[in-house]
């Protein structure tokens, strides 16, 4: 169904083949102007207000652990705040995800806002798909800043080509993951890539791509919205670590390993 109120979320993004090739080679790609700066400015207060209304974090940065200092993390905004739903379910973003992965259709896994506070800490090196009971299923995350993000604000940083190794261990985001994967990236000689981004630009990265982010060295909030997609037709895998068990219960309610990954929380967002 066409969303006449938000045409910027329905129109196709012109995605050159060289960008698709770059994504498949490197496991990540930076796309400029996925939303115009004006459209990003329109969505910034909608998502920002949602984050402020849903955040329960009251501790100072000094009182939190490494994960807690990395960002304010609010998930599943599309179910909780109706005004955010058009953004999360946008055909424009989902088609990019399908084109990059080379699949016929994509479903929503979940959304999450990642707001890194002024003077917020680093995000340790990690793999996203460690958390997801989707072994063997193509996945991609869109990471879109709603404000201009210079590198020193905590721009996402990737180890190019690391996705080709696949699963690298049951290691959640932590001081341990930072040390282990930092050494791994150095030993393998992966190019480490980070770029300043304008509001409305977006990176897309594979679920197995090693990535991190530096601290926010500015006095402004790094306001970022993310949406995670997986290939339609994927099957839920056995949750072989506690975080995957939690994700199974949260994002595939009522479903079991071996079943198609397609709960009511995982609508089909695009199909060719």
Beta bridge partners of 228: 110, 141
Q: The tokens of 234 are what?
A: 């994927």
Write the DSSP string, 186-249: HHHTPPEEE--B-TT-EEEEETT--EEE----SSS-B-EEEEEEEETT-BPPP--SHHHHHHHH
For 102, the token pair is 């080379």
Q: Write out pLDDT tens, residues 37-61.
A: 999 999 999 999 999 888 766 666 5
Could you count the other beta carbons within 10 Å of the beta carbon of residue 233? 14
- pLDDT of 4 higher than 70: no
Q: Is 230 exposed, middle or buried (0-12, 13-18, 19+ CB in 10 A)?
A: buried
Sketch the domain layout of the chain as residue ranges: 16-252
CA–CA separation, 69 vs 72, rounded Å? 8
| Surface-to-core class of residue 73, CB atoms within 10 Å of its CB (0-12 exposed, 13-18 middle, 19+ buried) | middle
pLDDT for residue 1: 45
The whole-angstrom distance between residue 122's C-alpha and the CA centroid of its chain comes to: 16
pLDDT at 36 over 90: yes
3-state DSSP percent of the chain in helix, strand and coil, to 5: 35, 25, 40
The pLDDT score that the predictor gives to residue 250 is: 96
In this prediction, residues 19-28 reach a mean pLDDT of 98
Buried b / exposed e across 164-187, counting CB within 10 Å, b at 16+? ebeebeebebeeebbebbbebbee
| CB-based contacts of 126, cutoff 8 Å, min separation 6 | 171, 172, 173, 177, 181, 210, 211, 212
16-252 under CATH 1.10.10.10, yes or no: no
What pLDDT is recorded for position 72?
A: 72
Alpha-carbon distance of 124 to 259, in angstroms, equals: 33
Closest CA to 8 of 251, 230, 236, 200: 200
Q: Which of 71-80, 84-93, 189-198, 202-211 is predicted least confidently?
A: 71-80
On average, the pLDDT of the chain sits at 93
Taking the C-alpha atoms of residue 235 and residue 71, their distance in angstroms, rounded to an integer, is 31
What pLDDT score was predicted for residue 122? 83
pLDDT at 8 over 50: yes
179, 210 contact by CB (below 8 A): no
Q: In what order do the strands lie in the sheet with 123-126?
A: 123-126, 211-213, 157-159, 192-194
| pLDDT of amino acid 67 | 54
pLDDT at 64 over 80: no
User: Phi and psi at residue 170, in whole multiples of 5°?
Assistant: -85, 75
pLDDT higher than threshold 80 for residue 69: no
Model pLDDT for residues 150-179, shown as the tens digit of each residue: 999 999 999 999 999 999 999 999 999 999
């Amino acid at each position: 169904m066409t969303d006449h109120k938000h045409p910027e979320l329905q129109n196709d993004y012109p995605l050159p083949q060289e960008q698709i090739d770059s994504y498949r080679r490197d496991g990540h790609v930076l796309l400029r102007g996925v939303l115009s700066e004006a459209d990003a400015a329109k969505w910034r207060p909608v998502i920002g207000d949602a984050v402020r209304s849903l955040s329960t974090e009251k501790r100072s940065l000094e009182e939190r652990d490494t994960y807690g200092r990395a960002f304010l993390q609010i998930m599943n905004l599309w179910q909780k705040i109706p005004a955010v739903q058009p953004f999360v379910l946008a055909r424009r973003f989902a088609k990019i995800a399908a084109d990059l992965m080379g699949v016929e259709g994509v479903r929503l896994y979940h959304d999450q806002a990642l707001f890194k506070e002024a003077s917020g800490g680093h995000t340790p090196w990690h793999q996203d798909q460690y958390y997801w009971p989707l072994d063997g299923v193509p996945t991609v995350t869109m990471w879109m800043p709603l404000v201009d993000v210079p590198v020193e604000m905590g721009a996402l940083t990737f180890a190019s080509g690391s996705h080709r190794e696949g699963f690298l261990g049951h290691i959640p985001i932590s001081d341990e993951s930072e040390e282990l994967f930092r050494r791994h990236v150095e030993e393998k000689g992966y190019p480490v890539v980070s770029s300043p981004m304008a509001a409305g630009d977006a990176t897309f990265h594979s679920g197995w791509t090693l990535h991190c982010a530096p601290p926010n060295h500015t006095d402004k909030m790094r306001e970022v919205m993310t949406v995670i997609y997986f290939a339609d037709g994927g099957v839920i895998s056995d949750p072989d670590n506690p975080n995957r068990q939690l994700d199974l219960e949260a994002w595939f309610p009522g479903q079991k390993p071996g079943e198609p990954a397609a709960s009511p929380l995982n609508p089909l967002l695009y199909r060719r």
